[in-house]
Amino acid sequence: MSLLKTVAVSNNNIQLPSTPGKFKPEKYQPYNHFMIHRLRLSKLTLWSSIFLAFILFFFILSPPSPSPSPATNTRQSWGGHHWEKRVTNSARTNSDSGLTVLVTGAAGFVGFHVSLSLKRRGDGVLGLDNFNRYYDQNLKRARQKVLSRAGVFVVEGDINDAALLRKLFDVVLFTHVMHLAAQAGVRYAMQNPHSYVHSNVAGFVNLLEVSKAANPQPAMVWASSSSVYGLNSKVPFSEKDRTDQPASLYAATKKAGEAIAHSYNHIYGLSITGLRFFTVYGPWGRPDMAYFFFTKDILKGKQITVFEGADGGTVARDFTYIDDIVTGCLGALDTAKRSTGSGGKKKGPAQFRIYNLGNTSPVAVSELVRILEKLLKVKAKKKVMAMPRNGDVQFTHANISRAHRELGYMPTTDLETGLTKFVKWYLDFYSPSRKKVAPSSSW
Ligand SMILES: O=C(O)[C@H]1O[C@H](OP(=O)(O)OP(=O)(O)OC[C@H]2O[C@@H](n3ccc(=O)[nH]c3=O)[C@H](O)[C@@H]2O)[C@H](O)[C@@H](O)[C@H]1O
């Protein structure tokens, strides 16, 4: 501004105001008007050049940022020497034969338990979780704190962030990936369909892309779902049964995941095992699941809605206790063969497996409520209504003979025993007097 002012004064003897727009010539002079116009233009040009130079300067200096994740924030919360040290410490095994496992969804229900069990037996475990807001983040943070105390670092990030995944694979040579990050819940898919595609399809493909390019490629074990059986009416559900009639978008994305996994196994030689979980429940569970919010609502004296099938038919689930699921997951990891490819190139056929992990003992939802009433010592205010068309299926029942034969899987917890442990945890965790996050017993 002062430079312009000086030039103008010396050349034309015109007083230019320091604030544009305040200048008023005493009388109209065409020459002066022309000069003022030119000066305004050159002033504009100078400022534009300075502005452009600034933008260029910052553009050249700024480092490339990781790809943004629409599910979470776009700020980079990873990287740096300290962060890498935490990553390597967490992934370090206690013995030469130990596994080095990346657990996605580690702050989720199943991921939390699997991570703890792996760490306790001496495997190296690195967690990854985007801490999204699908349900109470405090519960996820509480799980994270327990994991941290056990020596498991949970990296905060999304499976859609390829740069982050590549960085993790650069820093650690993972032998296995336990992929449990997903958008869960059958009924929520009608409210937020895109979150299912984002996590269960796009995120999964992203993880497979990075895994297939890794050298060595890890073996992958991942969570499919009993929901892939959809409208299948043949019981108990066997892995050989048809899975082409999903009843919800959630189920459709899990079925898509199985097909996608097969293609990566076929093309790139990735060793992949899919586990079809059957309504997993237990301590540190998911608040969006019926057993969890029934407990909360019964204690609050709120009405609960219990679905029944067409013509009053029973709605039932093969409820499976978390500890049984964890033994199934560890069995799958321990029996997984190595991937055959490296750096994105297949070197030979690789293992591809699918297993049911259920309890083989379906229980009616009305019975679940009866057990909760007994354990909580509170009568539920029940409203029985026909199951809405919301993606639910009426009945699930797992045939687990393949998992038993090949993984040594054998569930041992009946619903009442499992719910007793859940209710004990729930009352402790949500007790107003409880010191937040410190669990009273050893889950
Ligand atoms: O194994 C799976 O494949 C899935 O299991 C779980 O789904 P679901 O088996 O549907 O569990 P969940 O919602 O607890 O409903 C339990 C029962 O309560 C009935 N139910 C539900 C709500 C209600 O208000 N009333 C009711 O009667 C309802 O009709 C049902 O019969 C996981 O959430 C899912 O992510 C996936 O992993």
Look at residue 63 and tell me whether its pLDDT is greater than 50: no
Position 75 confidence tier, pLDDT thresholds 50, 70, 90: low
**Nearest atom within ligand 1 for CA of residue 292:** 14
- Give tens-digit pLDDT for 392-414: 999 999 999 999 999 999 999 99
Q: Mean pLDDT throughout 188-207?
A: 98
Domain 81-280+323-358+394-412 has CATH 3.40.50.720: yes
Position 341 confidence tier, pLDDT thresholds 50, 70, 90: very high
Q: Which two tokens stand for residue 170?
A: 């650069």
**Which residue would you say has higher pLDDT here, 406 or 437?**
406
- Give tens-digit pLDDT for 221-234: 999 999 999 999 99
Look at residue 300 and tell me whether its pLDDT is greater than 70: yes
Residue 196: per-residue pLDDT: 98
Q: Mean pLDDT throughout 295-316?
A: 96
Residues near 371 by beta carbon (within 8 Å), at least 6 away in sequence: 415, 416, 419
**How many A from CA of 199 to the centre of ligand 1?**
20
Question: 257-262: which pairs have CB atoms within 8 A and are 24 or more residues apart?
Answer: 257/200, 257/201, 257/204, 257/222, 257/224, 258/224, 258/228, 258/354, 260/201, 260/204, 260/205, 260/208, 261/204, 261/208, 261/220, 261/222, 261/352, 262/352
Q: Which two tokens stand for residue 117?
A: 């069990």
- Give tens-digit pLDDT for 250-286: 999 999 999 999 999 999 999 999 999 999 999 999 9
**How many A from CA of 58 to the centre of ligand 1?**
51
- Give tens-digit pLDDT for 133-166: 999 999 999 999 999 999 999 999 999 999 999 9
Residue 77: per-residue pLDDT: 79
Residues in contact with ligand 1 (CB, 6 Å cut-off): 184-186, 225-227, 277-279, 289-290, 305-307, 315, 317, 365, 387, 392
Position 47 confidence tier, pLDDT thresholds 50, 70, 90: low
Position 43 confidence tier, pLDDT thresholds 50, 70, 90: low
Residues annotated catalytic, as ranges: 250
**Nearest atom within ligand 1 for CA of residue 184:** 35
The rounded distance, in Å, linking the Cα atoms of 383 and 166 is 50
Q: Mean pLDDT throughout 170-184?
A: 98
Residue 49: per-residue pLDDT: 56
Position 28 confidence tier, pLDDT thresholds 50, 70, 90: very low
**Which residue would you say has higher pLDDT here, 36 or 167?**
167
Residue of 183, 317, 324 to mutate, ligand 1, most atoms within 8 A of C-beta: 317
Residues near 252 by beta carbon (within 8 Å), at least 6 away in sequence: 246
Angle at which helix 322-335 crosses helix 109-120, to 10 degrees, equals: 60
**How many A from CA of 247 to the centre of ligand 1?**
13
Return the residue matching tokens 């534009």.
Answer: 48
Strand 176-179 vs strand 100-104: parallel, antiparallel, or unpaired?
A: parallel
**How many A from CA of 287 to the centre of ligand 1?**
11
Q: Where are the domains of the chain?
A: 2-61, 81-280+323-358+394-412
Mean pLDDT over each residue of the chain, to the nearest integer: 86
The rounded distance, in Å, linking the Cα atoms of 220 and 74 is 27
Look at residue 434 and tell me whether its pLDDT is greater than 50: yes
Residues near 134 by beta carbon (within 8 Å), at least 6 away in sequence: 183, 184, 185, 188, 195, 288
